Amino acid sequence: MILVTGMAGYIGSHTAVALLEDGRQIVGMDNFYNSSPSALDAVKKITGKDFAFYNADLRDKEGMRRIFEENSIDAVIHFAGLKAVGESVEKPLLYYENNISGTVNLLELMQEYGVKRFVFSSSATVYGEPDHVPIEEDAPNSATNPYGRTKLYIEGILKDMCVADKKFSVALLRYFNPIGAHESGLIGENPNGIPNNLMPRICQAAKGIMPFLTVYGDDYPTKDGTGVRDYIHVCDLAEGHLAALKKLEKSTGALIYNLGTGIGYSVYEMIHTFMKVNSVNVPYKVCPRRAGDVPTVYANPDKALNELGWRAERTLEDMCKSSWEFVKNK
Ligand code: NAD
Ligand code: UFG
């Protein structure tokens, strides 16, 4: 049985579909801080399969204990966490408590119940301001904000766990920029509040919820002056978790993988592809750079291909189409 924390969230719900379609038994938990129970019904509808679910908070250790007590868990995929960079700067303690203390609770329970496999949602944010691209897994790490620091600290805690317990196996999956939605149109990125990331904001501008998209700077040293990122389809990302889990079933220690495509697209390329494939206008205005943004980030994804046999398959067109399909009728 696999425990999926944060399962009602964006990446958790897509990974739940991939796991159920692979015939895995799962149990989910979430506190719905940034999601809603409707995602769980959608997962059931897509897969035609049922699963146990707990409305629980990582910070409530006794509530979490019930999950371990009532289920025979042999691996954990840990998505639950807060992820808004700006909010983390304003409320660092909330991020340290929720993300770090919450993860420590989870790890203590795993230790108590003898659970040895852990897949962690890390982020390309741990590369800070990369000095070169594409980024390999052994590039230097740094954090530029409290959110990023929670990812770096948790990576460190998990490496320490592997030193202390030779039977413990961990995959640190460093996601690049997940976008897109399941082809059913039933699950996708549905954040509570105002989104920060490019694709949800493109969708809001296309829908008229925002009058225009703010392009944060067109004077970067990139192909067209706008920021370049490695956008990866969330369904490819979900399949990456399954590949990592299979690897952990045959290994111990901490393994680190970039989950990206290896291709960098600019903000203008994103806007224009979105408009073309969806036949919809995205009004935008060029504004000053956003504090903390770096010009170019994209992965070297070779290690995941060589060691996990996984690579991202879906195109930018797929990502733009499915994102809009999910959002347009909401
Ligand atoms: P999300 O907000 O959609 O999902 C996270 C889920 O965790 C939410 O449903 C939220 O309600 C839940 N949660 C938060 N704190 C909790 C707590 N204390 N107890 C129980 N549930 C809690 O985010 P996502 O995009 O699906 O991201 C999943 C993970 O991947 C996060 O850890 C995030 O930091 C990481 N990540 C995301 C991205 C991205 O761009 N989406 C990039 C890199 C890493
Ligand atoms: N951008 C805009 N306008 C917007 C939003 C974004 O022009 O309204 C630009 C940004 O300047 C950047 C690109 O679009 O060039 C992508 O921005 P996102 O906010 O979508 O993604 P980031 O790469 O900045 O951030 C992501 C994750 C963070 C993580 C960071 C570093 O969302 O959690 O990668 O790895 F910390």
* Residue 33 CB–ligand 1 contact under 6 Å: yes
Average pLDDT (157-162) is 98
High-pLDDT (> 90) share of the chain, %: 96
Clarify whether 147 is annotated catalytic.
Answer: yes
Q: 292: pLDDT confidence band, cut at 50, 70 and 90?
A: confident
Pairing status of strand 231-233 against strand 177-179: parallel
The ligand whose atoms approach the alpha carbon of 9 most closely is: 1
Q: Which of 10, 95, 127, 147 is catalytic?
A: 147
Is 30 a pocket residue for ligand 1 (Cβ < 6 Å)?
yes
pLDDT at 154: 98
On average, the pLDDT of the chain sits at 97
Asked if the model's pLDDT at residue 160 lies above 90, the reply is: yes
At 329, the pLDDT band (50, 70, 90 cuts) reads confident
Q: pLDDT at residue 193 above 80?
A: no
Is the confidence at residue 330, as pLDDT, over 90?
no
Better-predicted residue by pLDDT, 116 or 328: 116
Q: Is 249 in the pocket of ligand 2 (CB under 6 A)?
A: no
Helix axes 10-21, 38-47, angle to 10 degrees: 20
Ligand nearest to the backbone CA of 286: 2
Query: In ligand 1, which atom is closest to the CA atom of 8?
Result: 9
pLDDT band with cut points at 50, 70 and 90 for residue 9:
very high
Q: What is the pLDDT, as a whole number, of residue 194? A: 80
Cis peptide before 92 (omega within 30 of 0): no
146's CB contacts (< 8 A; 6+ apart) are 88, 89, 92, 95, 96
- Quick one: which atom of ligand 2 is closest to the CA of 84? 33
Q: Which atom of ligand 2 is nearest to the CA of 201?
A: 8
Percent of the chain with pLDDT over 70: 99
* CA nearest neighbour of 80 among 13, 169, 137, 142: 13
Backbone angles phi, psi at 125, to 5 degrees: -60, -25
Over residues 249-269, mean pLDDT: 97
For range 90-102, the mean pLDDT: 98
> Alpha helices, DSSP H only, in the chain?
10-21, 38-47, 61-70, 85-90, 92-95, 102-112, 146-164, 198-207, 234-248, 267-278, 302-308, 316-328
Cα-based torsion angle of the residue sequence 84, 86, 89, 92 in order, rounded to the nearest 10 degrees = -20
Q: Closest-lying ligand to the alpha carbon of 97?
A: 1
Is the beta carbon of 267 within 6 A of some atom in ligand 2?
yes
Q: Is-contact 284 204, C-beta < 8 A?
A: no
The answer to whether 304 and 243 are in contact (CB under 8 A) is yes
pLDDT higher than 80, residue 64:
yes
For ligand 2, is residue 101 a contact (CB within 6 Å)? no
pLDDT at 328 over 80: yes
Domains of the chain listed by start with CATH number: 2-179+231-262+299-312 (3.40.50.720), 198-228+263-298+317-327 (3.90.25.10)
**299 CB less than 6 Å from ligand 1?**
no
* Pairing outcome for strands 265-266 and 228-229: antiparallel
Return the DSSP state at 124: G
